Amino acid sequence: MQVYLVGGAVRDRLLNLDGADNDYVVVGSTIEQMLSLGYQQVGQDFPVFLHPETKEEYALARTERKSGHGYKGFAFSFNENTTLEEDLLRRDLTINAIAQDENGNLIDPYHGLDDLKNKVLRHVSPAFVEDPLRVLRVARFAARFHHLGFKVAPETLDLMKEITRSGELESLTPERVWIELHKSLKTNNPEVFIEILHYVGALQVVLPEVEKLSGVPGPKRWHPEIDTLVHTMMTLHRIALESKDPVARFAMLCHDLGKGLTPKELWPHHKDHNVTGLEPLEQLCKRLKVPNEYHDFAKIVVYYHTYIHYLYEDGARGIVTLLDHLDAWRRPERIKPWILCCKCDFLGRKGFENRPFPRADYLNEMFVICQTVTAKEFVAQGLKGIAIKQAMFERRVELIDTFLKTIPRTEIDNSANSQPPAETVEQ
């Protein structure tokens, strides 16, 4: 019986990264022997055991062969004669097919160390095409390791395209797609996940609402990058630089979904795309069973992200009304992330990356000022019910009106020159 540390734990240690769980492969053992040593069997498709003390996972070395459709269509074979090399051969990427023995020696039959050195994500064997989930996994690894300089090997991209053409991607469960998307949203470069899926044709299958943005133009004056999918990727990249919150990142991925529904004869303008964007958002969230936290925040970003361009249009009263619509007083934790999403939407355009956007800071300040207004003083005045709510509204308007007088007049006067045309907002 020989035990080897395998997979992500070995890879990440070699990359000086933290976070991967320890997974072990056991060679030369049987189910009966593992149970006799006190291991707890938990695997359903193949024998996986929990260590009696550390509770880390130990799996018997195994081989697999394609036996059906989809990423679950595999038959596994395991016995005490299965070698480590045979087990590693079934893995997806060479950098995930490196093992380490109990003495720290590395076993690398498929040249994963060379690919780590050269920063290449490469498939281990032609059997890569048998598992459609690997398209999403490789895209996620590309997103995770992009900041280190890793690229997907051209021949691996070709196999990913082959999987897409085979129709096997349709077998992926919505839950599995969400798991991979969610993990990608936590990487340094979530936009790379989407870009890779788009390149190999898989985005149309797993996120068709996002794929619809490809080739849809925006007005050149406000979107020099032209293509709406490119803009979405730029905003997703920007929010990843500004925030580690995957909820905000998901919202940016979805913020312009409505533009994918604009009739071609209306291009490059997208009147009321904030309204039309709600339907594809609902479809996406329902299909992938997106958690409510992500859905609810994305909904307010989709609908209200254009409103910040007209922040000063209706003065203090309009600003307080906007905060009311955002449910700012019951859900104050949403406001700062929402403002950040609006900022990233503005900066996520070609040539706009370094432009000032003081409205974000001013709106944050105005929200903090409005939070000082409470019902207590109006209750003391004898007001009740709706009268209290109205009095609080008017007090907030007074405070914002005073604050607006401290803002440089050029910020208000010039705001019209730094915003998309008014037709993008529901009238």
Report d(CA 192, CA 143) in Å as an integer.
5
277 closest CA partner among 303, 310, 307:
303
Beta strands in 9-115 (DSSP E): 23-27, 40-41, 48-50, 57-60, 63-66, 74-77, 99-100, 106-107
Report the CATH architecture of 2-118.
2-Layer Sandwich (3.30)
Tens of pLDDT along the chain (427 residues) come to: 899 999 999 999 999 998 788 999 999 999 899 999 999 998 766 789 999 999 999 999 988 765 455 556 456 677 888 999 999 999 999 999 999 999 999 999 999 999 999 999 999 999 999 999 999 999 999 999 999 999 999 999 999 999 999 999 999 999 999 999 999 999 999 999 999 999 999 999 999 999 999 999 999 999 999 999 999 999 999 999 999 999 999 999 999 999 999 999 999 999 999 999 999 999 999 999 999 999 999 999 999 999 999 999 999 999 999 999 999 999 999 999 999 999 999 999 999 999 999 999 999 999 999 999 999 889 888 888 899 999 999 999 999 999 999 999 888 876 655 555 444 443 2
Report d(CA 427, CA 418) in Å as an integer.
19
Q: Are 111 and 94 in contact (CB under 8 A)?
A: yes
Report d(CA 190, CA 253) in Å as an integer.
9
Q: Are 226 and 220 in contact (CB under 8 A)?
A: yes
Q: Where, residue-wise, is CATH 3.30.460.10 in the chain? A: 2-118
- pLDDT computed for residue 68 by the predictor: 55
What pTM was estimated for this model as a whole?
A: 0.92
- What are the CA-CA distances from residue 321 to residues 263, 325, 373 (Å)? 31, 6, 15
Report d(CA 189, CA 81) in Å as an integer.
42
Report d(CA 422, CA 427) in Å as an integer.
8
Amino acid at 272: D
Q: Are 394 and 370 in contact (CB under 8 A)?
A: no
131 closest CA partner among 226, 183, 64, 193:
64
Report d(CA 210, CA 230) in Å as an integer.
11
